[in-house]
């Protein structure tokens, strides 16, 4: 096979290598997008992973808006992974092309190092925009259709509805026009569309219990070991029933999963037992 390749003219061989690399990057892009979408669907069904960690929006949030936000997050994750794979593929392709052309790659690599340093200094804001855009997508700070208030790095306050979130900029729309802001310029953001997530938990008790003790125990558990991501918002309402249970209404910054609800219930029950013994 090597002898057969030696008979092929070098320009044709280089062109074949470049075309193969281009096709490989396109194919990996499609595969990565499908894999990320399936992982996202699975995480949503299992209530696990970063795809479930999001605050609920207002009751008028439409299915179209939720799906648009979800597609943007999937697209962002897919593009990041595809960029990383593409960089590796093209670096390997460049090395192979140098080898085929019998060119010393040391000079070009050293020149690329100086060029890369210059580009890094000149494009540091773009890098900040890129990283901030990734965090916005993965943490779901805000999404398409959310009403937000933000303060830019120079102190200007902007209020509008999120129209699109890119990896480098965010587009807001108000009553007058659309505003394009680089992601790194959004120093402080208030999402006015996020609602606290309401959750009901039930605690079994053997006797009439002071409801204030239940509230105190619950607040002590939130943010503690195993529940560090649980943040209680607002007041806690309790309803003691004649069936030997206390129904507790709490509001959190995001929906609780089954494990967190169980930990809260068992923790409150143990705390009440210890206090009465």
The span from the CA of 144 to the CA of 162, in Å, is 5
Q: What is the domain range of residue 158?
A: 142-194
Residue 140 tokens read as 């779901």
Specify whether 22 is located in the same domain as 64.
yes
Q: CB–CB of 158/178 below 8 Å?
A: no
Assess whether pLDDT exceeds 50 at residue 260.
Answer: yes
Domain count, the chain: 3
Specify whether 54 is located in the same domain as 99.
yes
Specify whether 124 is located in the same domain as 10.
yes
Average pLDDT value over all residues in the chain: 75
**Mean pLDDT, residues 252-266 taken together:** 79
Assess whether pLDDT exceeds 90 at residue 23.
Answer: yes
Q: Compute φ and ψ for 173, nearest 5 degrees.
A: -130, 125
Cα–Cα nearest to 263, from 213, 212, 221, 231: 221
**222: Cβ contacts below 8 Å, ≥ 6 apart:** 230, 231, 232, 264
pLDDT in tens, 40-51: 777 656 555 555
The span from the CA of 185 to the CA of 182, in Å, is 5
- The residue with greater pLDDT, 69 or 214, is 214
**Helices 63-101/105-122 angle, 10° precision:** 150
pLDDT in tens, 48-99: 555 554 555 554 455 565 666 667 677 777 877 888 889 889 888 988 888 8
pLDDT in tens, 216-252: 888 888 877 877 767 776 777 777 776 677 788 887 7
Q: Residue 156: which pLDDT band, with cuts at 50, 70 and 90?
A: confident
In a domain, 137, yes or no: no
In a domain, 169, yes or no: yes
For residue 202, what is the domain's CATH number? 3.30.70
Q: Compute φ and ψ for 33, nearest 5 degrees.
A: -65, -45
Q: Which DSSP letter does residue 173 get?
A: E
Specify whether 60 is located in the same domain as 159.
no
**Lowest mean pLDDT: which of 4-13, 22-31, 150-159?**
4-13
Assess whether pLDDT exceeds 60 at residue 3.
Answer: no
Q: Residue 22: which pLDDT band, with cuts at 50, 70 and 90?
A: very high
- CA 270 from chain centre, in angstroms, equals 35
Specify whether 55 is located in the same domain as 104.
yes
For residue 167, what is the domain's CATH number? 2.30.30.100
pLDDT in tens, 180-213: 888 888 767 887 776 667 778 888 776 667 778 7
Three-state secondary structure readout of the chain: CHHHHHHCCHHHHHHHHHHHHHHHHHHHHHHHHHHHHHHHHHHHHHCCCCCCCCCEECCCCCHHHHHHHHHHHHHHHHHHHHHHHHHHHHHHHHHHHHHHHCCCHHHHHHHHHHHHHHHHHHCHHHHHHHHHHHHHHHHCCCCCCCEEEEEECCCCEEEEEEEEECCCEEEEECCCCEEEEEHHHEEEEEECCEECEEEEEEEECCCCCCHHHHHHHHHHHCCCCCCCCCCEEEEEEEEECCCCEEEEEEEECCCCCHHHHHHHHHHHHHHHHHHHC
In a domain, 182, yes or no: yes
Give residue 89's pLDDT: 92
Specify whether 103 is located in the same domain as 149.
no
In a domain, 174, yes or no: yes
**Which is it for strands 147-152 and 186-191: parallel, antiparallel or unpaired?**
antiparallel
């Amino acid at each position: 096979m090597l002898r057969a390749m030696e008979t092929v003219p070098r320009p044709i061989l280089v062109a074949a290598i470049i075309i193969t690399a281009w096709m490989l990057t396109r194919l990996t892009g499609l595969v990565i997008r499908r894999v990320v979408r399936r992982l996202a669907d699975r995480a949503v069904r299992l209530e696990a992973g970063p795809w479930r960690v999001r605050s609920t929006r207002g009751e008028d949030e439409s299915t179209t808006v939720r799906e648009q936000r979800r597609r943007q997050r999937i697209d962002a994750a897919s593009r990041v992974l595809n960029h990383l794979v593409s960089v590796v593929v093209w670096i390997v392709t460049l090395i192979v092309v140098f080898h085929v052309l019998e060119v010393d790659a040391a000079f070009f690599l050293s020149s690329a190092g100086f060029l890369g340093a210059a580009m890094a200094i000149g494009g540091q804001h773009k890098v900040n925009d890129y990283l901030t855009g990734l965090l916005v997508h993965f943490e779901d700070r805000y999404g398409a259709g959310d009403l937000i208030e933000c303060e830019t790095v120079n102190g200007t306050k902007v209020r509008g509805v999120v129209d699109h979130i890119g990896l480098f900029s965010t587009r807001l729309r108000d009553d007058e026009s659309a505003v394009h802001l680089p992601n790194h310029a959004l120093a402080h953001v208030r999402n006015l569309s996020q609602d606290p997530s309401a959750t009901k938990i039930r605690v079994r008790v053997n006797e009439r219990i002071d409801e204030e003790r239940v509230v105190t125990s619950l607040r002590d558990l939130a943010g503690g070991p195993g529940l560090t991501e649980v943040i209680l918002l607002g007041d806690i309402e309790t309803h003691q029933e004649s069936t030997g249970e206390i129904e507790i209404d709490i509001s959190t910054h995001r929906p609780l999963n089954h494990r967190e609800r169980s930990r809260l219930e068992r923790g409150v029950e143990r705390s009440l037992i210890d206090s009465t013994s």
